[in-house]
Chains A and B, each alone.
Chain A
Amino acid sequence: AAGVIQSPRHLIKEKRETATLKCYPIPRHDTVYWYQQGPGQDPQFLISFYEKMQSDKGSIPDRFSAQQFSDYHSELNMSSLELGDSALYFCASSSTRGRGNTIYFGEGSWLTVV
């Protein structure tokens, strides 16, 4: 079965640079989520999109922005990168057509800021 696809899988950037992560949700899923997971931490919710509109916002820094496109893929843009942005970034998707909101995760994109 198709899963959530994320790219790139690994990314190394210098401080103050910009990074863009891409996410392709499971086909027919209408909701995309972005999470950030630092070492030894639980996934922290950043932002979500439902039918291409922002549906919820968590602890996303102002330096970060995201959007969902007409084909439902999503991109997370991170500017003025800081060392503390080094983390594993997960994209996840779900379908709201079911009774519960089961989230399926991608394998994550490792961002290292040096």
Chain B
Amino acid sequence: QKEVEQDPGPLSVPEGAIVSLNCTYSNSAFQYFMWYRQYSRKGPELLMYTYSSGNKEDGRFTAQVDKSSKYISLFIRDSQPSDSATYLCAMSALGGYQKVTFGIGTKLQVIP
């Protein structure tokens, strides 16, 4: 079993929909959570990061962490065709150098 599980999709939604992307993890040491967006043949771009359980909002994006369930989510409101990309969750322990573990990524397509 992988330390981080993420449904690869693909996920197709109509423009304007609310998108929910999720990851589960098994390593209790993970305390730092990140979401990356990757367009085809491009480097992953950091979208959001968070340390604590609860919600963190940035524009149309909301990151949610539930450490008790080892479950994290990324919500995209008012989705746009330009949001079509692969979304990767990533996580690590805290403090000093820590290896970051990625999910496989969920491919999202927002249809105009």
Contacts and interface: CB of A to CB of B under 8 A. Distances in A.
A100 B92 contact: yes
23 contacts: A31-B97, A42-B88, A42-B102, A42-B104, A43-B102, A45-B99, A56-B97, A56-B99, A96-B96, A96-B97, A99-B51, A100-B51, A101-B92, A102-B46, A102-B49, A103-B46, A103-B90, A105-B36, A105-B45, A105-B46, A107-B43, A108-B42, A108-B43
A24 interface: no
Interface residues of B, number: 28
B18 interface: no
Question: Which applies to chain B's interface (DSSP): helix, strand, loop or mixed?
Answer: loop
B62 to A, nearest CB: 18
B97 A41 contact: no
Interface string B39-68: 001111110010100000000000000000
A24 B24 CA distance: 33
Contacts of B49: 100, 102
Interface of B: 6, 8, 32, 34, 36, 41-46, 49, 51, 88, 90, 92, 94-105
A48 B99 contact: yes
A77 to B, nearest CB: 21
B32 A100 contact: yes
B97 A55 contact: yes
B43 A106 contact: yes
Interface of A: 4, 31, 33, 40-43, 45, 48, 50, 55-56, 58, 88, 90, 96, 99-108, 110
A107 B94 CA distance: 26
Contacts of B103: 42
A89 to B, nearest CB: 10
A101 B92 CA distance: 7
B51 A107 contact: no
A58 to B, nearest CB: 8
